[in-house]
């Protein structure tokens, strides 16, 4: 049965996409930003059905668990989907806020930009409910396709063109590997739904072709989440793309990849965790370490955030790595840790990119040495930089500490395993390494001397765009409130239970 309430967010986003193009066609020059406003309103409107479904108890169509399944179980709206859809919509809203002033100022094609960004968010929303291979792949490519174009939006910039080409080539390669893995799994199990694959995998778990299919699917998603050694596109793409696009790629695109990885790992391959568990252990350890070590050497702050994003992908992978040793309660703890980390990371990283945009507008440069003494002539921007970078480092009472806490708690559920303890130690060492380069930014901003070339007078008089200021305020609010009151995230436990129960 088709449930219009369950699919209302997707329908609203679809209407929003048509309106964005229509407004862009009709709006006069100088008012093309109205297309971005329409996109913002549409994404906010799409969140209201999520709220009504989350509050659903006695409404028609609700089951005891609040699960709404359509298309023979291929598309499911449960607590897990609701939480992730809400996260994607918030990511889209903040990314649009970061974009409006930036895109309008540099005279880019505005309507097409907003259309592509909203379309990418639509793909992520679809992925949260996907419970079969076809829907998952369609959603993932709808996230990636617009992102390829957005990365190269500065058409006259050689670095932007290089970023887009590299991102496109790596994206196509990962899609091909992912499809090949899916074809092997389908060919051996005869199923495309996650529940069917889980049941069929018990028979073919020892088949080399099935193991190869699982490995190829992991590799395909490893590209999407920029896990080492499949990360090499990310820093170059982030640095070359327009900064709001880099912010979106580091959060929206990456989280979408993690949602696909979480869903297929726990729902389709939950019975063969001994295959993918060790692979993810290695990916987590290497990704954390290499991302942090290379970030230490960066002087361009956006590139530093690119490698920081790689390192955080490793931290999110940590709970996955011990999946083979978890019982059902441990699985719930791991999923809770992953969802919580992704949510907090989204606000921290979007806020960090927004603060970098503000710092570049004040200093005229994205190079860290040029930010010396920024706190003296732009104290508000410097304060935001300190807040978001210390939160990324996990300094209490900012939200990043809770993300690290639930990550360590989940992996230590397997404390009887030497592998669990080893991975926890590696994560702890990497958390210390990350603190060094995050603190270096704050030290430069507040303690170094102002460079002679710094536009101090101009910077002091130039206000931030209202949309950028609003984005910084929203993300800072979430980082501070979540850090002081982490119990607000306790409802993510329901999302974890929804996923472990399966479709």
Give residue 502's pLDDT band: very low, low, confident or very high (50, 70, 90).
Answer: low
Q: What is the pLDDT of residue 330?
A: 66
* Least confidently predicted of 69-78, 180-189, 335-344, 420-429: 69-78
Q: What is the pLDDT of residue 354?
A: 94
Comparing C-alpha atoms, which of 335, 444, 428, 316 is closest to residue 389?
A: 444
Mean pLDDT of 465-484: 91
Q: What is the pLDDT of residue 329?
A: 60
Q: What is the pLDDT of residue 300?
A: 92
Give residue 348's pLDDT band: very low, low, confident or very high (50, 70, 90).
Answer: very high
* pLDDT, tens only, 266-313: 888 888 888 888 888 899 999 999 999 999 999 999 999 999 999 999
Comparing C-alpha atoms, which of 270, 278, 279, 280 is closest to residue 332?
A: 270
Where is mean pLDDT largest: 26-30, 334-338, 357-361?
Answer: 357-361
Contacts of 337 (CB under 8 A, 6+ apart): 319, 406, 407, 409, 410
Contacts of 86 (CB under 8 A, 6+ apart): 47, 50
Mean pLDDT of 364-382: 87
**Percent of the chain topping pLDDT 90:** 42
Mean pLDDT of 377-401: 92
Q: 110-129 and 254-263 helices cross at what angle (nearest 10)? A: 20
Instruction: For residue 229, say if its preceding peptide bond is cis, omega within 30 degrees of 0.
Output: yes
Distances (CA, A) of 80 to 62, 87, 258, 340, 406: 15, 11, 13, 12, 18
Q: What is the pLDDT of residue 156?
A: 74
pTM of the model as a whole: 0.92
Comparing C-alpha atoms, which of 307, 315, 250 is closest to residue 283?
A: 315
Q: What is the pLDDT of residue 458?
A: 58
The neighbouring-strand residues paired with 180 are: none
pLDDT at 232 over 50: yes
pLDDT at 478 over 80: yes
pLDDT at 503 over 60: no
- Phi and psi at residue 501, in whole multiples of 5°? -75, -25
Instruction: Between 98 and 102, name the one with better pLDDT.
Output: 98
pLDDT at 29 over 90: no
Give residue 422's pLDDT band: very low, low, confident or very high (50, 70, 90).
Answer: confident
CA pair distance 359, 47, nearest whole angstrom: 31
**Percent of the chain topping pLDDT 70:** 90
Q: What is the pLDDT of residue 64?
A: 45
pLDDT at 240 over 90: no
Mean pLDDT of 20-26: 89
Rounded to the nearest integer, the mean pLDDT of the chain is 86
pLDDT at 315 over 90: yes
pLDDT at 115 over 80: yes
* pLDDT, tens only, 429-438: 999 999 999 9
CA pair distance 262, 341, nearest whole angstrom: 13
pLDDT at 140 over 80: yes
pLDDT at 143 over 80: yes
Instruction: Between 56 and 55, name the one with better pLDDT.
Output: 55
CA pair distance 11, 24, nearest whole angstrom: 20
* Least confidently predicted of 99-108, 145-154, 366-375, 452-461: 452-461
Where is mean pLDDT largest: 26-40, 95-109, 405-419?
Answer: 26-40
CA pair distance 234, 226, nearest whole angstrom: 6
Q: Which two tokens stand for residue 380?
A: 């508000």
CA pair distance 25, 148, nearest whole angstrom: 23
Give residue 57's pLDDT band: very low, low, confident or very high (50, 70, 90).
Answer: very low
């Amino acid at each position: 049965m088709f449930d219009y309430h369950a699919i209302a967010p997707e329908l609203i986003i679809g209407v929003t996409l048509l309106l964005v193009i229509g407004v862009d066609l009709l709006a006069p020059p100088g008012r093309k930003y109205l297309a971005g406003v329409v996109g913002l309103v549409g994404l906010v409107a799409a969140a209201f059905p999520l709220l009504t479904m989350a509050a659903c108890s006695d409404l028609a169509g609700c089951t005891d668990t609040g699960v709404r399944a359509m298309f023979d179980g291929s598309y499911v709206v449960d607590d897990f989907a609701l939480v992730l859809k809400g996260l994607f919509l918030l990511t889209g809203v903040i990314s649009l806020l970061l974009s409006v002033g930036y895109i309008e100022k540099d005279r880019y094609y505005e309507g097409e930009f907003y259309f592509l960004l909203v379309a990418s968010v639509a793909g992520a929303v679809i992925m949260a409910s996907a419970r079969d291979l076809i829907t998952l792949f369609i959603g993932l490519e709808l996230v990636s396709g617009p992102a390829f174009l957005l990365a190269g939006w500065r058409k006259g910039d050689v670095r932007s063109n290089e970023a887009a080409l590299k991102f496109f080539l790596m994206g196509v390669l990962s899609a091909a590997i992912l499809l090949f893995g899916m074809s092997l799994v389908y060919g051996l199990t005869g199923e495309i739904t996650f529940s069917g694959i889980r049941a069929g995998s018990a028979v073919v778990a020892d088949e080399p072709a099935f193991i190869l299919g699982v490995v190829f699917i992991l590799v395909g998603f490893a590209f999407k989440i920029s896990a080492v050694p499949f990360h090499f596109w990310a820093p170059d793409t982030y640095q070359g793309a327009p900064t709001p696009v880099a912010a979106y790629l580091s959060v929206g695109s990456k989280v979408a990849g993690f949602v696909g990885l979480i869903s297929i790992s726990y729902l389709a391959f939950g019975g063969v965790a001994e295959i993918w568990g060790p692979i993810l252990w290695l990916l987590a350890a290497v990704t954390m370490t290499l991302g942090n070590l290379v970030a230490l050497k960066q002087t361009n702050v956006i590139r530093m955030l690119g490698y920081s994003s790689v390192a955080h992908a490793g931290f999110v992978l940590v709970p996955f790595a011990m999946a083979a040793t978890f019982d059902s309660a441990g699985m719930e703890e791991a999923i809770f840790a992953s969802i919580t980390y992704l949510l907090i990371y989204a606000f921290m990283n979007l806020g960090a990119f927004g603060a970098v945009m503000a710092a570049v507008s004040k200093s005229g440069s994205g190079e860290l040495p040029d930010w010396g003494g920024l706190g003296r002539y732009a104290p508000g921007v410097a304060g935001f930089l300190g807040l978001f970078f210390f939160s990324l480092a996990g300094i209490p009472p900012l939200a990043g500490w809770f993300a690290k806490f639930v990550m360590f708690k989940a992996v230590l559920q397997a404390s009887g395993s030497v592998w669990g303890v080893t991975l926890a130690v590696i994560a702890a060492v990497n958390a210390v390494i990350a603190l060094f380069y995050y603190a270096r930014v704050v030290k430069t901003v507040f303690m170094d001397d102002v460079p002679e070339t710094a536009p101090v007078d101009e910077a002091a008089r130039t206000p931030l765009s209202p949309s950028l200021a609003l984005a910084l305020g929203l993300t800072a609010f979430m980082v501070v409130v979540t850090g002081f009151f982490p119990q607000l995230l306790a409802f993510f436990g329901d999302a974890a239970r929804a996923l472990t129960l399966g479709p």
